[in-house]
Amino acid sequence: MIQSNPMNSNLPAVPSEASNYEMRYATYRALEKLKSTIWMDYDHAKPTIAVCVWDGAGAVDSINVFTSFESAVERNQADIRVVLQEIDGTNLEDQTAVVFLLPIHELHTRVTPEMTPALTDHFIEQLRRQEEESRRIIRPGKGPKAAAKAVPTRSESRGAGERPVFLSGTEPKFPFFRKKRERKEALELRAPVPEKTDSPLKSALTALSNELVRKYPADENHVVICTAEGRAAAKAVSLYTAIRNAAENENIPLTIHIKKIGNGYLRHMSPIVLTAPTEAVYLNVHAEDADNIVRRTVMRGEILEALTFQDSAGVTPRSLSITELTDLASIRPESESEDSAPETKPDPIALLVPGKAVFRDDARELLETPEIKETILYSTLKPENAPEKARPSAAVKPAETDGGESGLMTVEALFAVAADAANETIESGTDPVRAGNDVHHAGTIEEYDAIREKSATVSPLNQPQLLVIYGTDDERETAAAFAAELRESSGLIDIKISLSAALGIPGGGVSLRIDPAGILYTRLRRSDSERIMRMTVADGIVLPEFLARDPRSGKRILLYKDHPWIRQQTRLISADFAAIASESLSSVINHEGYRGSVRALTMRPDEILTEIKSSRLRGRGGAGFPAWRKLELAAAELAVPKTVLAVCADWLAEAILARAPHLILEGMIIAARTIGAKKGVLALQNCSVYTKKICQKALRDAAANRLIGANILQSGFRFDLSILNLDGVKPIGDESAMIAALSAGNPKAKTAPRRRPPYPTQSGINGKPTAVFDVRTIAALPAILREGSAVFAAEGTRSSGGTFFIAVRARGKNFSLAEIPIGRRLDVLLLNSLSYDERKRIKGARLGNRHPCYLSADQFHFALDETTFETIQSPLPSAIEWLDESENIPRRVRTDLKRSLDELDPESRMSAFGLEALIDRLDALTRGEIGAEGDLLALRDLAEGVRDMAQTRAEREAVLPLISTLAYFPDDFRAFLPETAPRAETGEDAK
Amino acid sequence: MINLTIDKKPLQVDKPVMILTAARENGFEIPTFCDVGDLTPDGSCRVCVVEVTYPDGTRKIQPACDTPVCDGMRVRTATAAVRNARKQAAGILLSLAPDQPKIRRLAESLGVNEPIFKSNRIGPGACIHCGICVRACAEKSSGILRFSGTGGDRRLTLPGIDPKREKRECEVCIPYCPTGALKRDLGLGIGAEKAARQRLRNRLRTLTRWLFLVLSGFAAVSTATSDLSPSHGISILARVNPFEGLVILLAHGPNRALPYLPALAVVLTTLILGRVWCGWICPTGTLLTLFGKKGRRIRYQGLRRAKTILFLSALIFALVKLTFFLYADPLALFTRFSAAIRALTLNRQPPAIDGESILRLALPFAALFLLNGIERGFYCRYLCPLGGFLGLISKFAFLKRVVDRHGCVQCGECGKSCPTGAIADDRNYISDPGECVQCGACQPDCPADAIRFEFGSPFRRVPIEFDFGRFEWIGAAALVTLITLAALIVTALFGR
């Protein structure tokens, strides 16, 4: 192990054959580039050994080198940081392991574990010499505290770093001609690497951290919370409290600053947390992250990867966590067969064996605690150096706003800003359900508590269970089959397996959530069930090949809640969806299901109305009518019986309904209670058999537990719900048609758009007041009542509160569902859903489902809220598809128009003829029959005329695709004009 | 009292009427297409759209014909968006039926001159799915007519009725169709019964005319052979000739005119039924309208006044005892043969074929007959003095041809089928009662059933095409004088 030859020279042992080794020019280039990258980006304050690692065959070697370096450094008791540096390994495949010594800037290639002690000694020797030199030259002042602890001055290290030397391996000697030829070859063989440019967000973040963090002295702990005004401020308040509490708990001195930011990008990332002296930048920090920030970042200088900005454009050189390290090691080249799976081979994957940790009762907390994580999960790896004790110089104190830092705010100011946004600060610790109690309805609460107890015994909360997660409806079949397969292979193991209500993971296919820890497996096939049962469920081994990968950083993600897609959502309505089995009532009840309706039953209707009004909820079906207004109108009517009609006519609405039928039932009870309705109808249009079945089952379950029906929960309130299938009613989603169909006596009523007023709230089913809501609107009501309207209104905009469901997809991929707050900007959503390279190719977005509108990429400053989209006469989109450069916009528009034409109400002839005319004109355009720019204008005039002459909203929106594309993608249409081509040619000729 | 603003002009309306009504009452122009007076508006054509701002601030583009006014409403009738919407609606309608004059005129008034797209539904009488007939059927009749099917297969149907078998008496919807497609092209058989009846009547008319021709021929021959009126040589036929009677009356006094008393019956008939004589009875007319182009070919139709001038000149000449205008009389033309027949039967030898007899007997008739090559019934239209006389009377007839201007789709079928070219294309297909011979040939082909022959007051206002204006009277008088002078000079030169 230890090299035999004495280490007298400043060079470590060089393999003898290395002198004859000639490096490829491409490799040389890659190394040069690596040198400059690391030199530019590294923190030079501390001596560091950076072991470069990349995905691929050499990763295991690199990790071995890394561990042996760590042990060597520890043996020498040197204050040297050993980090793993993730790099792009192109052209360096045969050079493993590459080691970079900082600040002396030596690059070693082909390092083996045997060489590490010698290299470490050499490094320490170099450091010491540097230090002596500096002392000699500058001033014999403060010497190093310990002999082994070398702290080189900054200026020197930079001077020395200008000429890095190759040590291991050889200096490449290239004959001149050969070098030229090689370069040519390299250029020909490899496609030109696109210039990596920094994304604007990245540069904004860098600027911010430069501006703030560098100011603070390195021996004090600082945390800066950057927040924008409005709802983010409310989050910042809770975050501030949480961080302060955490710091007090750990008893470390910590100064917390608050800064207001105005940058458009950063607004939507706020609250942003910057820490010093560890320069971490965390985005979208929630209050629950405070503990981790204090314990891991402040106290131990770790970077929490899940919170950082991850962007492939940034190529952030950063140290890897141990999780990633083992993940990387697990990646093998495809040549190796799958039989070399972890259980057969004792390689680093075995490090992930967590014992039975997954299924311990306290597994969730266990996985959270960093110490446990290391000791239990990764006990074979040597833990990192003991965490630096926090410097006890300053006591925990609230933000110091004086001292000339103009950008910082006082806590009072922050509170004021937050209060301004949400009208009332969120009271933590008070249960809104209990708070809104009426003495007379104590029985209802007791009844509900009894049901909760019962369901807690039926299916205890922290019991192991497997929840199969699916994305789109197409995957549900597969998911169900997979669940069945799991059940079959479970054999004697007693574990609950069911379909989860989670909204799905993009690209995750059929996924599995393993409770209670919340571990997420993705991309599962039926053949995997056996292995998951045997390894993970029976033996408690986490199988890394099933773990999801962060599409941007390539990192593996262990827990469901750490998935970036989940993190970027604001889950008010779907907070517990992942842990709920959608078919099981007890699972719903365990997660506070029906609590909102219990609260509604104990409140007076006007109180509920006030609550909903202050939540600023708007209808999610498209028109965006304020929900409270509709409820108020219906409640004010005297005629009885009133009806609540929940409509599910959209695939997105169906996706929500199929996942959380009980949520809809609960919401309908709340709405019924508000307006005093005794009857409810859940109208399903174009829904799958599964949805119908699961709704019926939910209704049966709820009725059996007296959660619906006569005398709900002993409250004396009666609400009868029926689920009706209205597939035959055309046009789909038209409420007048539905009401006409539901009215008894004339089932074949005229389906033409009825003249309004009277609105359905005055005269609906059978001429009685009817409150018609989309299922998605209904789904928001329980959250409002359960959490309180302030929590709901804290999200969203001034005119429209809360969150909404949206389906996002890129070209060629499936839709993935997410819950995001109203008012999120499109570019932020884009940022969160695609990687930088993908984003660069995006030229626009198709927003909406049935009647989409198209926006080009330069319009991505649009915020997703009703008022913004009103300006382009579009409803709030419920689906977004990113369009890349290869998209043929006119053809897409034609498809949209054709489908609208087919779905149109047959009675509205003018709109139908208008659509026919538009399709005819579009065809003429694509055939090249339209010859002039003026004809495009005529096309636009025609489209706008058809829009303006429309009778109903559906007709009006049917033309939206064409109008928006003509406005935002004019060049796609101009490309068909015959003149433009010759004009462009002549322009080039003129050049 | 409802206060509203139309184009920034504050108005007050008593009842919640529709915007269109309120606007029209106050003198605002809003174009309409499917708004038919006596039907409930349903705003389906979107031509009458206006921009409406409600008191709560919502602004919409709504059809004026079925949006009721409400307090505080602001209406703008001519914003850019509104104009564009109207224009595009008209353009779409025009593209669906590019040949329909009614739609073309609407489109042109809104600035669209050409179809904006190629519809695959275009036919000679394309249904544009305006739905007016359905509304008419629902409100005025059984409501059986309705649209069925979706998309491109959507068409008007009469559910449960086999068009080939059953008889349908109701034709309420036909006049409402703006394109005439309902009767012509839809294959529903609506209006077919009535058209069949009218065709039958037309055949009856033809039969009657030939019958009268035969009878007249018989009368002429019998007059010639049996010498029924040896004294004056007037035939039975001539006795019913009011023109001849009038001329004789003026020239020779009442005693000589007494045999012409039966002609009063013709005058009376004309006063009641119009020029039935010309259309149904006149044997010369039957012969002279045998062939030739129907409709109008000569551009200057003012020529029709020539027959009136001839008639008036004849009267003036009669006052000076000159009756040679009777040569131009149609019955005289007809009975001129009788002289030849008489010669044939009495003298047992054919009449001498000399220049005079050809000139007197055959040539005028042949010439008039050949003039049909220009227009059918050229003589009847432009020259017949009897026709001029009856035309003057029939301007005050009780029975007149009336065209329903709302129903008329201006297809021009009636003008093509009119044997006397009495129907003016450029005047909404009306006809001068002085020119119409009440034949009814125009009726069965009318796709909108807009043509009716109605009894009414003789002095009711009917559009008259060939009346004499002030200057035309002067011109006519001058012409009559000139003709008189010329005739006098000719008589002076050759009479001796």
β-strands B155-157, B146-148 pairing: antiparallel
**How many residues belong to chain B?**
496
**Per-residue confidence at A767, pLDDT binned at 50, 70, 90?**
confident
Find the range with the poorest average confidence among A347-361, A647-661, A804-818, B259-273. A347-361
3 state SS for A920-966:
HHHHHHHCCCCCCHHHHHHHHHHHHHHHHCCCCHHHHHHCHHHHHHH
How confident is residue A989, by pLDDT bands cut at 50, 70 and 90? very low
In a domain, B108, yes or no: no
User: Exposed (0-12), middle (13-18) or buried (19+): which is A822, by Cβ within 10 Å?
Assistant: buried
Nearest-CB residue to B92 (from A906, A913, A951): A913
- Confidence label for B156 from pLDDT (cuts 50, 70 and 90): confident
What average pLDDT score do residues B326-345 get? 74
pLDDT for the residue numbered A382: 31
**Residue that wins the pLDDT comparison between B152 and B320:** B320
- The SS3 of residue A264 is helix
Would residue B284 count as lying in a domain?
A: yes
Q: Same structural domain for residues B263 and B332?
A: yes
Angle, CA of A194, A195 and A199, to the nearest 5°: 115
Contact residues, chain A, for B119 at CB < 8 Å: 913, 916-917, 920
Mean pLDDT value across residues A486-492: 83
Handedness of CA A620, A623, A629, A635 (dihedral sign): negative
Return the pLDDT at A757.
67
Angle at A980 between CA A975 and CA A984, to 5 degrees: 110
Q: For residues A519 and A548, give the distance between their C-alpha atoms in angstroms, rounded to a whole number.
A: 10
- ipTM value: 0.77
- Per cent of chain B over pLDDT 70 is 90
User: Cα angle at B310 between B308 and B312, to 5 degrees?
Assistant: 70
Residue A314: pLDDT over 50: no
Mean pLDDT within B379-390 = 90
Answer yes or no: is pLDDT of A281 > 90: no
For chain B positions 13-52, those within 8 Å of chain A (CB to CB) are: 43-46, 49
Query: Do B82 and A945 count as a contact with CB atoms less than 8 A apart?
Result: no
Show the tokens assigned to B264: 């009063």
Let me know: does A913 contact B96? Beta carbons within 8 Å: yes
Rounded to an integer, the average pLDDT of B299-306 is 83
Which residues make Cβ contacts (< 8 Å) with residue A837, sequence separation at least 6? A312, A313
- If you classify domain A593-787 with CATH, what class do you get? alpha beta
SS3 (DSSP) at A803: strand
* One-letter amino acid of A328: L
Least confident of A309-313, B8-12, B205-209, B287-291: A309-313
Residue B147 distance to chain A (closest CA, Å): 9
Residue in B66, B117, B151 closest to A917 by CB: B117
Question: pLDDT-derived band of residue A697, with 50, 70 and 90 as boundaries?
Answer: very high
Average pLDDT over residues B410-418: 84
B148 → chain A, closest CA residue: A906
Q: What is the mean pLDDT of residues B143-167?
A: 74
B212 and B288, same domain (yes or no): yes
Say how far apart CA A548 and CA A552 lie, in whole Å: 12
Query: Cα separations (Å) of A288 from A232, A235, A296, A520, A559?
Result: 15, 11, 14, 20, 15
Which one of B50, B54, B84 makes the best mutation probe of the A interface by having the most chain A beta carbons within 10 Å? B84
Mean confidence (pLDDT) of chain A = 74
* Helix, strand, coil fractions of chain B, as percent rounded to 5: 50, 10, 40
Is the torsion defined by CA of B350, B352, B357, B358 positive or negative?
positive
pLDDT (mean) for A853-879: 87
Chain A residues inside the 8 Å CB shell of B147 = 906-907
The Cα A481–Cα A473 span in angstroms is: 13
Q: Which residues of A touch B82 (CB under 8 A)?
A: 948
Asked if residue B136 and residue B78 are part of one domain, the reply reads no
Nearest to A944 among B46, B81, B92 (CB): B81
Asked if the Cβ–Cβ distance from A913 to B129 is below 8 Å, we say yes
Cβ atoms of A641 and A768 within 8 Å: the answer is yes
Q: Give the Å distances, CA to CA, from B412 to A463, B304, B430.
A: 87, 21, 11
Bridge partners of A882? A845
Domain finish residue from B88, B121, B141: B88
- Chain B CA closest to residue A905: B150
Do B237 and B186 share a structural domain? no
- Give the number of other CB atoms < 10 A from CB of residue A211: 13
pLDDT at A362: 52
B301 shares its domain with B273: yes
User: Exposed, middle or buried by CB within 10 Å (0-12, 13-18, 19+), for A317?
Assistant: middle
Report how far residue A523's alpha carbon sits from residue A504's, in angstroms, rounded to the nearest whole number. 11
- Tell me, what's the pLDDT at B85? 92
Between A660 and B404, the more confident residue is: A660
Contact (CB<8Å) A906/B87: no
pLDDT band at B163 (very low <50, low <70, confident <90, very high): low
pTM given for the model: 0.68
What per-residue confidence (pLDDT) applies to A700?
92
Cis peptide before B433 (omega within 30 of 0): no
Evaluate whether residue B372 is within a structural domain: yes
3-state SS assignment for residue A815: coil
The total of structural domains in chain B comes to 3
Q: Are residues B214 and B231 in the same domain?
A: yes
- Distance of alpha carbon A646 from alpha carbon A682, whole angstroms: 5
- In angstroms, the separation between the Cα of residue B118 and the nearest Cα of chain A is 7
Query: Pick from B157, B190, B223: which residue ends a domain?
Result: B190
- HSE-up of A731 (CA within 13 Å, CB side)? 21
Q: What H or E segment, with its residue span, contains residue B454?
A: strand B451-455
Sequence-ordered list of residues with C-beta below 8 angstroms from that of A429, at least 6 positions apart, any chain: none
Report yes or no: A942 and A724 within 8 Å, Cβ to Cβ. no
Token digits of residue B84: 């564009």
> In this model, does residue B316 exceed pLDDT 50?
yes
Confidence band, pLDDT 50/70/90 cuts, at residue A313: very low
**Residue B179 near chain A (CB below 8 Å):** no
User: In the prediction, which pLDDT does B221 show?
Assistant: 75
The reply to whether B250 falls in a domain is yes
Residue B39: the pLDDT is: 84
- The C-alpha of A900 sits at a distance from chain B's nearest C-alpha, in angstroms, of 11
What CATH number is given for A803-974 in this structure? 3.10.20.600
* pLDDT, tens only, A210-239: 777 667 777 778 888 888 776 677 778 888
The helix or strand, by DSSP H or E, that contains position A227, with its residue range, turns out to be strand A222-227
Give domain A457-579's CATH number out of 1.10.1280.10, 3.40.30.10, 3.30.230.70, 1.10.150.20: 3.40.30.10
> What number of C-beta contacts closer than 8 Å exist between A and B?
75
**B150 to chain A: closest CA residue:** A906
Q: Contacts of residue B45 in chain A, CB cutoff 8 Å? A: 910
Q: How far apart are CA A600 and CA A224, in angstroms?
A: 41
Residue B112 lies in a domain: no
- Any domain includes B98: no
Indicate if B243 and B321 belong to the same structural domain.
Answer: yes
Flag whether pLDDT at A819 surpasses 70.
yes
Chain B residue whose CA is closest to A904: B151
Quick check: B392 and B280 in contact, CB under 8 A?
A: no
Token couple for B394: 């029939």
Residue A394 has pLDDT above 70, yes or no: no
Q: How far apart are CA A202 and CA A311, in angstroms?
A: 8
pLDDT digits (tens, 9 = 90+) for A771-814: 999 999 999 999 999 888 888 888 888 888 889 999 998 877 88
CA distances from A916 to A413, A531, A931, B3, B118 (A): 58, 56, 20, 40, 9
The fold for domain A200-301+391-420 equals: Glutaredoxin (3.40.30)
- What does the pLDDT read at residue A263? 63
> Which tokens hold the place of B164?
């080939």
Fold for the domain defined by A16-189 = Glutaredoxin (3.40.30)
Confidence of residue A398 (pLDDT cuts 50, 70, 90): very low
Same domain, B220 and B161: no
- The domain ranges of chain A are 16-189, 200-301+391-420, 457-579, 593-787, 803-974
In terms of domains, do B302 and B154 share one? Answer: no
Q: Which of A936-940, B191-195, B262-266 has the lowest mean pLDDT?
A: B191-195
Partners of B49 on chain A (C-beta within 8 Å) are 948-949
Are B446 and B305 within one domain? yes
Assign residue A14 a region (left: φ > 0; alpha: ψ between -120 and 50; beta: otherwise): beta
Whether residues B209 and B271 share a domain: the answer is yes
Residue B98 structure tokens: 């590019």
Q: What 3-state DSSP class applies to B382?
A: helix
Q: Touching check for B77 and chain A: CB below 8 Å?
A: no
Of A192-201, A641-650, B77-86, the poorest mean pLDDT is in A192-201
Q: Do B44 and A920 touch (CB under 8 A)?
A: no
Q: Is a pLDDT exceeding 50 seen at residue A262?
A: yes
Are the C-beta atoms of residues A381 and A389 closer than 8 Å to each other?
A: no
Per DSSP, the three-state class of A657 is: helix
Is residue B93 domain-resident?
no
Q: Give chain B's mean pLDDT.
A: 82
Q: What is the pLDDT of residue A44?
A: 64
| Among A42, A73, A87, residue whose Cα is nearest residue A149 | A73
More confident residue, A605 or A182: A605
State whether A946 and B151 contact (CB < 8 Å).
no
What's chain A's length in residues? Answer: 991
Q: Which amino acid, B144?
A: I
Whether residue B115 is contained in a domain is answered as: no
Q: Is A417 in a helix, a strand, or coil?
A: helix
Q: What is the pLDDT of residue A13?
A: 42
Using the beta-carbon criterion (under 8 Å), do B91 and A948 form an inter-chain contact? no
pLDDT attached to residue A406? 38
Please write the tens of the pLDDT for every residue from A510-538.
899 887 778 888 888 888 888 888 888 87
Question: Residue A699: its pLDDT value, please?
Answer: 93
Please report which confidence band the pLDDT of residue A10 belongs to, taking 50, 70 and 90 as the band edges.
Answer: very low
Residues A633-658 as b or e (16 or more Cβ within 10 Å = b):
bbbebeeeebbbbbbbbbbbbbbbbb
| Rounded Cα distance, A309 and A315, in Å | 11
Cα separations in angstroms, A121 against A13, A16, A35, A768, B367: 12, 21, 22, 89, 136
Task: State the best of A900, A910, A930, A955 to mutate against chain B, taking most chain B CBs within 10 Å.
Answer: A910
Dist. CA A663–CA A597, nearest whole Å: 10
pLDDT at A34 over 70: yes
Tell me: do B158 and B204 sit in the same domain: no
Rounded to whole angstroms, how far apart are CA atoms A49 and A115?
14
Side-chain-side CA neighbours of residue B405 (13 Å): 8
CB-based contact A234:A203 (threshold 8 Å) = no
State how far the Cα of B475 lies from the Cα of B355, in Å rounded to an integer: 36
- Cβ of B84 within 8 Å of Cβ of A920? The answer is no
Structure tokens at A25: 């020019």
Answer yes or no: is pLDDT of B188 > 60. Answer: yes
Which amino acid, residue A314? G
Tell me the residue range of the domain where B344 lies.
Answer: 197-496
pLDDT of residue B166: 62
Do the Cβ atoms of B91 and B99 come closer than 8 Å?
no
- The token pair that represents B378 in the structure block: 């050229």
Question: Do A16-189 and A593-787 show the same overall fold?
Answer: no
User: Given pLDDT bands bounded at 50, 70 and 90, which one contains residue A151?
Assistant: very low
Query: Half-sphere exposure of A800 toward its Cβ, with a 13 Å CA cutoff?
Result: 24
pLDDT given at position B165: 63
Q: Which of A663-677, B327-341, B416-430 has the lowest mean pLDDT?
A: B327-341
Residue A415's pLDDT band, with cuts at 50, 70 and 90, is: low
Higher per-residue confidence, A418 vs A940: A940
Nearest to B88 among A920, A942, A951 (CB): A942
> In this complex, is the C-beta atom of B159 within 8 Å of any C-beta atom belonging to chain A?
no
Choice between B115 and A493, residue whose per-residue pLDDT is larger: B115
